[in-house]
Amino acid sequence: MATEDGMAVLEVVDNGIGMAPGTQASLFQPFFRAPEVRGLPGHGLGLVTTKRVVEAHGGTLVVRSEEGKGTHVVVRFPAWCARRRAPAVLRQRLLPPEYARSAHELSPHPRRG
């Protein structure tokens, strides 16, 4: 992870099978599964859920891939996301009001510092 222009930047790169353009165009559709992985476990909700959470925090998630060469994923979050608590408006957008507490309040692990 690095910082760039006030953003926290996380990049993941692999040298795997990559994705066809048609697959890339559908990546963020709920329940979409690429033909190459339909026999593997999964529901097709991981990337769409991740993108929604990232965008709800004012960030972006971009996927670039080339068939036969691999995939490059870049996630960018505003710097304030590194602080302990998100603004109340975002907690309410991500969780129903009865659960709109910080991750620290919900965590079974004690706070540090």
**What digits encode the pLDDT tens for the residues 60-85?**
999 999 999 999 999 998 877 655 45
Q: Record the pTM.
A: 0.65
Is 43 part of any domain?
Answer: yes
The pLDDT tens digits along the chain (113 residues) read 677 888 889 999 999 989 999 999 999 999 998 888 888 888 888 899 999 999 988 999 999 999 999 999 999 988 776 554 555 555 555 545 544 444 445 444 454 44
Domain coverage including residue 61:
2-82
Which residues is 30 bridged to in the sheet? none
Is 32 part of any domain?
Answer: yes
Is 8 part of any domain?
Answer: yes
pLDDT for the residue 94: 52
Q: Is 92 left (phi over 0), alpha (psi -120 to 50) or beta?
A: alpha
Question: Considering its fold, how many domains does the chain have in total?
Answer: 1
For residue 49, what is the domain's CATH number?
Answer: 3.30.565.10
